[in-house]
Amino acid sequence: MLLNPKTQTYDYLDPASKELMLKTIAFFENKGKQKLKADDHERVWNYDFVEFVKNEKAFATLMTPAGYGAADSRWDTFRICAFNEILGFYGLAYWYTWQVSMLGLGPIWMSGNEAVKHKTAQLLQDGAVFAFGLSEKEHGADLYSSEMTLTPEGHNKYIADGSKYYIGNANEAALVSTFGKMSDSGDYVFFVVDSKHENFDCVQNVCNSQNYVAEYALHDYPITEADILSRGRDAWDASLNTINVCKYNLGWASIGMCTHAYYESITHAAHRRLFDHTVTDFPHIKQLFTDAYTRLVAMKLFALRAADYMRSASANDRRYLLYNPLVKMKVTTQGEEVINLLWDVIAAKGFEKDMFFEMAARDIRALPKLEGTVHVNMALVVKFMPNYFFFPAEFPEIPQRSDPANDAFLFNQGLTKGLGKIQFHDYALAYDSVDLPNVHVFKEQIALFKQMLFTARPTEEQIQDIDFLLNLGELFSLVAYGQLIIENAKIYGVDDDILDQIFDFMVRDFSKFALQVYSKTSSTEQQMALCLQMIKKPAVNVERFERVWMNDAYALKDAYEMNL
């Protein structure tokens, strides 16, 4: 399941996509770890990577919807996953340039401005990067409070004034999709500006980082009707729908970074002797690595399956609006957990300047905090809980979506409201399709949680208490997380031992969050009693654990090392 750049062939992709992925790996391996780390330490913006992107037309191929670019250009989420994973594997700075370009492109491809779309397609062919001017220093991503203004001057001309903060790529972006308000009406508006224009002031990089995360200001920047992408409700929806698409990438950055860090860690530990034992002989080390490995496999299984729902989405099937936030929220926080587990093994080694791990340990923290915090996304996810548990609907089974198709619906998602009306298929279909001890324990926990929601439902005061709801959301998230993992384990032929070991940690995690709900000040006696019943021990199987350890987790020692 895990990417190994030295052995991955990408034979599952079409020839042109396969060639692009292999060339991307070759770029990084030829650059080598020493130069990769030196650029990180010296905070060198990745001009070499952008030059590679230009020469290979990588962004143009992957981020130009069909009909606007070359024949092989399409918005194909399946192959986008592969590129995401590669960039995450070699470092957040490279993934970030790609991510914020995608964010900047979202409002353009979602607009009705065909002239800007065709201009953008040509800029992509020319190797340009893009930026997404949404957040502001005093308001973050609170769109209601945006202070960027567009003032009409007559004759379809306008003047833009204001500043944006925390905007990646704004140092070099050919177009920056900028969100603001009309000064006269207060209506929302999206328009594009050029970072090289004399009225565009790139004030500073607000981060001490290899990434360029800009503060920029527009001073009497001239705008014409030709530069406007969308207005009013359309502009509002474009901002949120762009984030719906792009927040999904965050999970893949975590998957890539954790995979590289895992190879480094298991190889180091397997060759280190302490107290006359190899480090990997100690029982607690085996547990740490096996947990890290199974959590990482689960992250990838979930993210891949979420892509199937995203690619199959329609106006009548919006289940992706639950699964995408979970990729952003759950996969990225699981990435933090994987790094924590590995760091507990390699200890001081994780600080060394020559280790990829040093970068991963620092950067893995960023991903849960981008494109809406974990708390913001959890508040979104909780809206789906009633229909998910109590009002399932029938949908055709979603297959693996590896076909080379253009995911056109992503740029025509429609209104960003009515989330509480979205329905889901019965999660029990997945859970009842496998007969494994830890899945059975997990199903008991789900049944108790559902009983609590029905018979000891949150009070009005608890509903207003975001802290209480966030902890309920953690339990709900685990149910949806496990559902898609089971669905995808069948598609990818994951061994029963691995799936049961995944649910070993899922049972433990459910127990942990049940205890947190129990411990909340406002928890009622009935809620507390049910939470205590949810705390369960995983089904113990020493032989299964040893098989997963030896055949999977430990077997990756010496499997990969980046070229120096």
Q: Which of 232, 261, 291 is the last residue of a domain?
A: 232
Q: Which of 204, 232, 260 is the last residue of a domain?
A: 232
Return all residues near 534 (Cβ < 8 A) that are at least 6 apart.
Answer: 445, 448, 449, 475, 510, 511, 514
Residue 153 within any structural domain of the chain: yes
* Co-location of 251 and 114 in the same domain: no
Q: In this predicted model, what pLDDT tens digit does every residue of 327-354 receive, in sequence order?
A: 999 999 999 999 999 999 999 999 999 9
d(CA 63, CA 73): 7
Q: % helix / strand / coil in the chain, to the nearest 5?
A: 60, 10, 30
* Co-location of 192 and 310 in the same domain: no
Two tokens at 69?
Answer: 């670019």
* Co-location of 180 and 277 in the same domain: no
Whether residue 455 is predicted with pLDDT greater than 90 in this model: the reply is yes
Residue 403 within any structural domain of the chain: no
Residue 174 DSSP symbol: S
Residue 452 within any structural domain of the chain: yes
Residue 239 within any structural domain of the chain: no
What is the average pLDDT across 64-86?
Answer: 97
Domain count, the chain: 3
Backbone angles phi and psi of 517, in degrees to 5: -65, -45
pLDDT at position 379, please?
76
Return all residues near 47 (Cβ < 8 A) that are at least 6 apart.
Answer: none
Using alpha carbons, list the distances in angstroms from residue 24 to 18, 48, 112, 217, 383: 10, 12, 33, 34, 39
* Co-location of 123 and 139 in the same domain: no
Q: How confident is the model at residue 306 (pLDDT cuts 50, 70, 90)?
A: very high
Residue 204 within any structural domain of the chain: yes
Q: Which of 167, 200, 232 is the last residue of a domain?
A: 232
* Co-location of 373 and 510 in the same domain: yes
Residue 7 within any structural domain of the chain: no
CATH of the domain at 351: 1.20.140.10
pLDDT at position 41, please?
97
- CA neighbor of 59 nearest in space, from 92, 28, 24: 24
* Co-location of 219 and 265 in the same domain: no
In one-letter notation, the amino acid at residue 29 is: E
Q: What percent of the chain has pLDDT over 70?
A: 99
Residue 3 within any structural domain of the chain: no
Burial grade of 412 (CB within 10 A; 0-12, 13-18, 19 or more): exposed
pLDDT at position 420, please?
87
d(CA 480, CA 326): 9
d(CA 128, CA 44): 18
Mean pLDDT for the chain overall: 95
CATH of the domain at 27: 1.10.540
* Co-location of 46 and 188 in the same domain: no
Q: How confident is the model at residue 103 (pLDDT cuts 50, 70, 90)?
A: very high
d(CA 197, CA 189): 20
Residue 49 within any structural domain of the chain: yes
pLDDT at position 57, please?
98
* Co-location of 41 and 145 in the same domain: no
Whether residue 375 is predicted with pLDDT greater than 80 in this model: the reply is no
In one-letter notation, the amino acid at residue 162 is: G
What is the average pLDDT across 97-103?
Answer: 98
* Co-location of 105 and 138 in the same domain: no
* Co-location of 466 and 338 in the same domain: yes
Contact predicate 81/304, CB 8 Å: yes
Backbone angles phi and psi of 472, in degrees to 5: -60, -40
- DSSP-derived 3-state class of residue 186: coil
Whether residue 373 is predicted with pLDDT greater than 80 in this model: the reply is no
pLDDT at position 372, please?
65
Q: How confident is the model at residue 414 (pLDDT cuts 50, 70, 90)?
A: confident
CATH of the domain at 169: 2.40.110.10
* Co-location of 277 and 346 in the same domain: yes
Which residues form the domain of 448? 247-392+421-555
Q: In this predicted model, what pLDDT tens digit does every residue of 208-242 receive, in sequence order?
A: 999 999 999 999 999 999 999 999 999 999 999 99
Whether residue 108 is predicted with pLDDT greater than 80 in this model: the reply is yes
* Co-location of 426 and 503 in the same domain: yes
- Rounded to two decimals, the pTM is 0.96
Helices (H), 391-541: 428-431, 437-455, 460-464, 466-491, 496-519, 525-534
> How do strand 130-133 and strand 175-182 relate by DSSP bridges?
parallel
Q: In this predicted model, what pLDDT tens digit does every residue of 525-555 receive, in sequence order?
A: 999 999 999 999 999 999 999 999 999 999 9
Q: How confident is the model at residue 463 (pLDDT cuts 50, 70, 90)?
A: confident
What is the average pLDDT across 289-314?
Answer: 98
Q: In this predicted model, what pLDDT tens digit does every residue of 113-167 receive, in sequence order?
A: 999 999 999 999 999 999 999 999 998 888 888 999 999 999 999 999 999 999 9
What is the average pLDDT across 59-75?
Answer: 96
